[in-house]
Amino acid sequence: MRVAECADGLCTAPGLAAHSVLSTTISLTPFVLTFVLVSALVLRNIFPQLARIHNSRDGADHFLPSDAPLALQQAHAEHGAKSLRRRVAAGAFATTIGLAAVLAELILCEISELVSPHARATALRITVPTLLFLLIVLIPFLELQSLIAGSGWSFQRTARGRLPRIPWVLQFSLFSAWLFIFGPGELGPR
């Protein structure tokens, strides 16, 4: 058991002066549970409903007409759900919604002062930069790739095994312009 710490005639009670890893972990538990539950709910229930709207193309840029047989549509949907592009988009979507829920919970805890200030600060140091990365870097990158693929360009390797240059150059040019707009410092160039 710790003893009270005294400096310059001022003493603090044990547990208030230093934050242990265990106490911080226990204090962060509601935020972690909120993130896990909301992300799982979004990934399992909401994303499939939203992605069903755009199921004519799968993750490999294969197009399926709307009058295709039901068995082919089901096989096409299963194949599309396994694609890397689809899994990354689903993970980014679920993570963003989960972190937004945690941020709302942090704001409510900040107002009501329910959770320890050290745990709230720790959660904010994780939540806000991760949300900024998702909203400024990853999601726009995926959206630009989706727009380019939707306009007819393919990001798949050619028959010779080469990556197609035009879609990737277009992708990185547009993404570089996006990053220039939301560059370091304040939002955008000075």
Q: Model confidence over 9-50: pLDDT tens digits?
A: 566 555 455 678 888 889 899 999 999 999 999 999 999 888
Q: Model confidence over 61-117: pLDDT tens digits?
A: 555 666 767 766 666 666 555 678 888 999 999 999 999 999 999 999 999 988 888
Answer yes or no: is 146 within a domain.
yes
pLDDT value for 10: 61
Answer yes or no: is 187 within a domain.
no
pTM of this prediction? 0.72
Residue 169, number of CB atoms within 10 A of its CB: 10
Answer yes or no: is 33 within a domain.
yes
Tokens of 23: 């106490």
Print the domain residue range for 141.
5-181
Q: Model confidence over 115-138: pLDDT tens digits?
A: 888 999 999 999 999 999 999 999
pLDDT value for 138: 93
Answer yes or no: is 186 within a domain.
no
**Contacts of residue 75, Cβ cutoff 8 Å, sequence gap at least 6:** none
Answer yes or no: is 41 within a domain.
yes
